[in-house]
Each structure stands twice: as C-alpha cells, then as structure tokens.
Structure 1
Amino acid sequence: MQHQEGHFQGINKTPLYFQCWTAVNPKGLVMVVHGYGEHSGRYQNVVDALVPEGYGVWALDHRGHGRSEGRRCYVNRFTDFLKDLEIFEEKAREAHPELPVHVIGHSMGSLIANHYVASRRKQNYRSLTLSGTGAAPGPAIPSAVILLARLLSAVTPKLSLPSGVDPAFISHDPQVVDAYVNDPLVENKVTARLACEMMWALPGMITAAQRLTVPTMMQIGDEDESFHPDSWDRLFSAIAVDDKVFKKYAGCRHEVYNEIKKELPLADLKDWINRHQQSELHSNIPEPTFG
C-alpha cells in the first residue's frame, strides 16, 4: 500500500488537505467524502477493506475541517463543498486517468456526494454509496441548535455554536467514541451558516436522488439518530436507478464502518464496489453544473 498526502487549491484558492492510499497496480479509484466536524483520517477501516482489493482510496478534508484551511466548520454556500470536490476529482483522475471511479459519502458527506453525483450530466461513476444518510434531521440533532442557527445565519454567519450532539451516537465501540472525543482534528461546534446550509441541502436529497443515474447503495445503522428514520425509506424510494440497495444493520449507530459489528458493513461495501467495478463506464467528464 502506498500512502500520499498533500494540499490542493479549492475554490477561492483555499488550501485543502488530501490523502490517498493506493494499491501497487490499482484497478479503480474510490473517493471518500467525509462528514461534518471530522476528517479523512477517520476512514482507515474503509482503506483497509478496499486497498487490498486493488483500489486507490482518495479522501479530502473539507474546507474548515481537519487539516484544510478555512474557518472551522464554516462554508459560505453548500455548493462550495461540491466545487471543491470537483477540483479534487480532477486531481485524482489526472493521477489515474484510465481508472473508473466510485464515490462513498458519509453523513454530511452523503449530502455532498448525492448532490454532486446527481449534478453530473453523464454517468461517470461505477457506483455511489451513501452511509449514515437521510433527508431530514433526526433526534440526535437538537432542534434548538437548528432554530438558533437559522436566526443567526443572516446576521452572524460565522458565529460558532455548540453542536449539542452526544459523541456516543456515532458507535457502540467505546474506543471509537473515545478517539473521536480526543481527536484534535474533530470539531464539536458548528457555525450558524454551515448548519443552515446543511438544512437547505437535506430536503434537496430527494430531488437529487430522483436525478441519479449511478448504481446506489445506502448503508444505515438501525440505531442511527442523525437522520429521521422516516426519511430513509423516502430517500431510497426516490433513487431513480433500478440498481439500488438499502442495507440496514441491526445494533449499529451512525458510523457503521466504525462499529463493533463493522465487519458486515465493510464486507457489503467491498462486495458492492467489486460487483460494479465490472459495469459499463461513461468516461467523459461533463462541465460543472454547480451554482
């Protein structure tokens, strides 16, 4: 396994951190889009599952997250994440122009990935995986924080608010929770603007899913409280392609890849990507369609 890290310029010339783990002779690329408040370094279990299968795993830290520059957990517009991801994808494709691409998005990253892939004018991806996803906020997200963020976003958009989220909601594994709490790159606050932008993106998940042309898998723990359970089925039903799968894992919380029972979600992920590695690829990259 070869590991590389570095920086690239996102929109507005913001330096963004990325890292990639690559098999010696990779057969495909997997872009990982991480969630709110975390960073690319928390996906080692995904890396360990996919690189031995012959993939290169590429992951960036979103602006204001991890080792990337920018005000912590702030974004001016949700579409800034999509524009950064497009630049990152171009970098990954330049390194391996002959390889097909798969996309994994977790939590806030599932919002980004779903909107992003749906906005492409042609199918450029072998598969899309949405982990810890949904289309409406769940009980883990305090309604008071959402209300306060909406009130303050237009006046003081960069104001940081406590997220109010209990870290234990991510996993049953106490070591995972402890590492999350003590990780200096993890943020437990959210700016008013980012909170509002995520709330803006949530209902759009349904519309985006209706435009998908890529085989799509949803992976959700049945104890995940980050998104409302009713929205899981609505989102899955909205996915326009016939080749879609909804995997729900008993006894798992928000981060199924970091759960005590992580073996099954990781095996399903590996099998899904391997199966679609052999499918037809449309290699032309369209012009960006982000506002």
Structure 2
Amino acid sequence: MAAWQEWSFDGTRGRIVGRTWPNDSARYLALLVHGYGEHIGRYEHVADTLVRHGAEVVGADHMGHGRSAGERVLITDYEEVVDDLHTVDERARSARPGLPVVLIGHSMGGMIATRYAQRYADTLCCVVLSGPVLGVWSPTKLLQLDEIPDTPLDITTLSRDPAVGQRYAADPLVWHGPFKRPTLQALATCLETINAGPRLELPTLWAHGGDDQLVPLAETQVGIDHIRGSRFTERIYPGARHEIFNETNKDEVLADVTAFIDQHLPG
C-alpha cells in the first residue's frame, strides 16, 4: 500500500484529522470523502489505486468521526462539513499548486461531495459519486419516531465479500451505535438543499451497487434526477451491495473510476 502522512487542523467544530498519500509525480489531486460512521482509513486501497494511477490523494475524518474531534457521529449542519472539506481542499492545493482536483465521495460522503460540487463547481475537474445518499433516504423516516431505535447494521449488506463486514464490525474507529436525531435532521435538510440547488454541469460519474440495501438505488435516483447535468455518466453494478469500492468486483469499479478520470483530466 502507498505510504501516507497524517495531519490536522482546527475545523468548524474542533480538530479535524486527515491523511495525505503523496505522489511526487502526481498528475492530479484526488479528494476522498468518506461515509457515515466510518473514517478515511478504510480507503487505503482506494488511495493506493489512485496513487498508482497518478494522483496525490487527500482525505479527512469528518467531525465526530474517526480520529477527528467531536461527539461521535454528531453533525448538526452539513454545510459545516462542506466548510471543513473546503479547508482540506485548499490545504492540498497549496501544497501542490496547479494540479486539477477530482472529488470522490462514498455514501454520506457522496452527499457531501454533491453539495461541495454545487458550491465549488468551478474549482473541480470532475466528481465521482459512489452509492451516494441523495434524493430521499429511508432512515430519515426515523425522525417521525419518539425514540430512534438502536438497530445494529447488518454487515452482510456492505459487500458480497464477508471479510469486509467482519473488518467493519471489528474496527474501533467505526461507529456501531444508533443514529442521532440531530444528525438525521441535518442530513434531511442537506438532501432538501441539494434537491433545490443547481445541477452538476461538471463531469460526474454516478456508480452504484444494483443490490444496495443501505442506500437503495431507487431512493438515490430521485436525487440524481435533480442534479443530473449534461456531462453525466452512470454505472450500475448488478448484484453489488453498498460498498462498491470493497465489493468482489472492486477492481472493475476502480478501473471504471480511473478511466473516467482519464477522460476528463485537462490535456
């Protein structure tokens, strides 16, 4: 695996911890955005692929996630997460000026990446959305209940590779508890903001597992219809579950991602 360096900065709600996978001969910067309850360390193999493809890769744990500060998985305003991501982006650009930036977000990170692209479209080369939470997401219906149930995640929904779920369950930096009401409310508000926002006219790849039970294809499709621009590509992988970067066909998925990036890098 590619070597990485850890760093931190003062974010909107406390210390944010991130990683850089350096590449002295990088052709572009890849900005990775992780999903709900997890952390950027779960993307080492993705970063390794991107480094070998010609990227310098950066990513950070969101507030309340992984090694970053804050009450676990508590987010009250996703615009603040986008603000932190912008700081990560600017930090990476200052270290490697002139490189085009590719934004890659998975799950909740796909939602954050979409909102980031709506706010900063002119600064990005292209966007990759992996199993993004967009449109309508059924867990937000839990807000109608007086008490949000503590229902453990079914780890078999992550990937057809059972080792993926086992590693997830054993990872101490992953949140294994229930949703928190303020976070779900903030997430629902972010989805509404995205749906009411501009379409993504920069090159965008939407990649999704056909058997994704955590972020169902039909629910995301509602949001895709709101943001789809004129330079939009989609890839649906039959039988694949939620974490397509960790699926049994992950090599195919990552090859599609790097091919998409090659199509849209300047020059």
What TM-score do you get using the length of structure 2 for normalisation?
A: 0.92
Q: What secondary structure is seen at the aligned counterpart in 1 of 2:123?
A: coil
For 2:36 and 2:167, how far apart are their aligned partners in 1? 16
Where does the alignment leave 5 or more consecutive residues of structure 2 unmatched?
Answer: none
Q: Is the 8 A contact 1:18 1:60 kept in 2?
A: yes
For 2:140 and 2:117, how far apart are their aligned partners in 1? 29
Q: What secondary structure is seen at the aligned counterpart in 1 of 2:258?
A: helix
Q: Is the 8 A contact 1:82 1:116 kept in 2?
A: yes
Q: Report the alpha carbon displacement of residue 278 of structure 1 after superposing the two structures with TM.
A: 2.3
Q: Report the alpha carbon displacement of residue 232 of structure 1 after superposing the two structures with TM.
A: 3.4
Q: 1:147 corresponds to which residue?
A: 144
Q: Is the 8 A contact 1:118 1:213 kept in 2?
A: no
For 1:19 and 1:256, how far apart are their aligned partners in 2? 22
For 1:264 and 1:142, how far apart are their aligned partners in 2? 32
Q: 1:288 corresponds to which residue?
A: none
Q: 1:28 corresponds to which residue?
A: 28
Q: Is the 8 A contact 2:135 2:221 kept in 1?
A: no
Q: 1:245 corresponds to which residue?
A: 233
Range moving further from structure 2, 266-275 or 199-208: 199-208
Aligned counterparts, 1:21-60, within 5 A: 21-60=21-60
Q: Is the 8 A contact 1:2 1:23 kept in 2?
A: no
Quick one: structure 1 residues 161 and 193, their matched pair in 2 at CA, closer, same or farther if it must change by over 3 Å? farther
What TM-score do you get using the length of structure 1 for normalisation?
A: 0.84
Q: 2:248 corresponds to which residue?
A: 260
Amino acid at match of 2:190: A
For 2:114 and 2:172, how far apart are their aligned partners in 1? 28
- Provide runs of 4+ in structure 1 moved above 4 Å: none
Q: Which has the bigger relative contact order, CA under 8 A and spacing at least 6?
A: 1
User: Does residue 1:166 correspond to 2:163, yes or no?
Assistant: no
For 2:226 and 2:152, how far apart are their aligned partners in 1? 30
User: Does residue 1:94 correspond to 2:112, yes or no?
Assistant: no
For 1:253 and 1:75, how far apart are their aligned partners in 2? 26
Where does the alignment leave 5 or more consecutive residues of structure 1 unmatched?
Answer: 153-159, 280-291
Higher-helix-fraction structure: 2
Q: 2:12 corresponds to which residue?
A: 11
Match of 2:184 among 168, 184, 195: 195
Aligned counterparts, 1:169-184, within 5 A: 169-184=157-172
Corresponding residue pairs, total: 264
Q: What secondary structure is seen at the aligned counterpart in 2 of 1:271?
A: helix
Quick one: structure 1 residues 7 and 236, their matched pair in 2 at CA, closer, same or farther if it must change by over 3 Å? same
Q: What secondary structure is seen at the aligned counterpart in 2 of 1:123?
A: helix
For 1:103 and 1:29, how far apart are their aligned partners in 2? 9
Q: 1:131 corresponds to which residue?
A: 130
For 1:146 and 1:252, how far apart are their aligned partners in 2? 29
User: Does residue 1:68 correspond to 2:68, yes or no?
Assistant: yes
